Amino acid sequence: MDENFPINRYHFSDLVEHIQKLETVPDIVTDSETEIEFYGGNTIPKEDFIRLLAHFNEIDNLAQNDTKQDYEKHPQFGVKSYQFEPSWVEVSADSVCVEYVGSYINTDFHLTFTYINGEWILEK
């Protein structure tokens, strides 16, 4: 990857530390640094939510790679058309839905990921 499609760009260690201190996870959790909102953290075991936060880069890296591949197919639209960042994340027992917004272009879309056999998979 290059700087146009960054990988491993999120570090939620402060948020993980905060969640670990809570008795129960609230329905909505917002990371103060990125302002990414996480919904439904209270619908899964606390340990699973913490694991999701600790490994969120795996999900985002899949999305970055997918978008980079789209850009390589259609470079005439410019790289800025393919740069995005997460806005919110909806957590459920069997999947994670991430809403992405364009960093430069006014666009939004969501991607769904599932955790199968120890790895995250981007649903297509």
% helix, strand, coil for the chain, step of 5: 35, 25, 35
Q: What contacts 76, CB < 8 A, 6 or more positions away?
A: none
Give tens-digit pLDDT for 36-87. 999 999 999 999 999 999 999 999 999 999 999 999 999 999 999 999 999 9
At 115, is the pLDDT very low, low, confident or very high (cuts 50, 70, 90)?
Answer: very high
Residue ranges covered by each domain of the chain: 13-122
- CB 118 within 8 Å of CB 102: no
pTM of the model: 0.94
% the chain with pLDDT above 90: 94
Which 8-state DSSP code applies to residue 75? G
Q: What is the pLDDT of residue 2?
A: 72
Give the integer Cα–Cα distance in Å for 68 and 116: 23
Q: What is the pLDDT of residue 1?
A: 57
